[in-house]
Structure 1
Amino acid sequence: MPFYSTPSIRYKITSGNIGGVFAIHNTTGALYVAKGLDYEKLKKYELRLTASDSFKENYTTVLVSVKDVNDNPPVFEKSSYRTQITEEDDRGLPKRVMRVSGILG
């Protein structure tokens, strides 16, 4: 009975990996994010993956959509605040002392 070894399969990203933000494990085919994604720079990626053994290869396309999140820090309206609150004056509580806002983008 002849012995036939199973050729190992190798995986690679062959196109669409703009900025090298994705990586693939060459023996398992696990695809992962290697660098930070930025929705404002690129909203979608179309990756072409290749799987090959010693004899043949095959291809597939993976579409990745980047979800937008608020990645900006909160902003204070002023650089410093000063207020006076009268002792034991509980009328109109709570009282606004400062304001912070977030900026999308």
Structure 2
Amino acid sequence: MDPARILQIITNSTWMVTKLVGSGPVEFDKPQYQAEILENTNRDLLVQLRARLQPQVSGPVEFRIKEGNESGYFSLDRQTGRLTLNTPLDYEEQQQYHLVVEVRAGEATSEAKIDIRVLDDNDHAPLFPRALHETQITEEDDRHLPKTILTV
């Protein structure tokens, strides 16, 4: 086999192992996060982001939303990595949100994706004027049939 080809295979393998082990100076715990939220709710915490630092990196870690928050529905605490909701979401308006977040430590950065799925809730649940409705139907009485049992 050609020595240049062998060197290329070794280099590519080393790169793949390095990426799998995670040798970046700062990295998210996961490359992708997922969250589900019922529409019209004010759930505070959607996702808790966490980052790992290599020993050679020092200084504070800073999180930010890089893409996908044009409507301003989400907030990301720069120091803690807590992704929260600013306003209730509406399933009929949009069912999914895709954010790209970044963590920075000094000059080192890393990105992760967050997929947020909005779950449908019945916005138009029926309302009854009374909790209990009663009527009486006599067995084998076919007078006045059909008989109205409940009128809304």
Query: Where does the alignment leave 5 or more consecutive residues of structure 1 unmatched?
Result: 81-89, 100-105
Q: Which amino acid aligns with 2:93?
A: K
* Alignment match, 1:27: 79
> How far off its partner does 1:53 sit?
1.2
User: What TM-score does the superposition give when structure 1 sets the normalisation length?
Assistant: 0.66
Q: Which has the higher contact order (CA 8 A, sep 6+)?
A: 2
**CA deviation digits over 1:47-92, x for unaligned, max 9?**
000000112110000011111111225367xxx9xxxxxxxxx842
User: What TM-score does the superposition give when structure 2 sets the normalisation length?
Assistant: 0.47
* Alignment match, 2:137: 92
Aligned-pair Cα RMSD in Å: 2.9
CA distance in 2 between partners of 1:5 and 1:64 (Å): 31
Return structure 1 stretches of 4+ with deviation > 6 angstroms.
none
Give 3-state SS (helix, strand or coil) of 2:124's partner: coil
Identity %: 24
Greater helix share, structure number: 2
Query: Where does the alignment leave 5 or more consecutive residues of structure 2 unmatched?
Result: 1-55, 130-134, 139-147
> Closer, same or farther in 2 for the Cα pair 1:62/1:74, shift >3 Å?
same
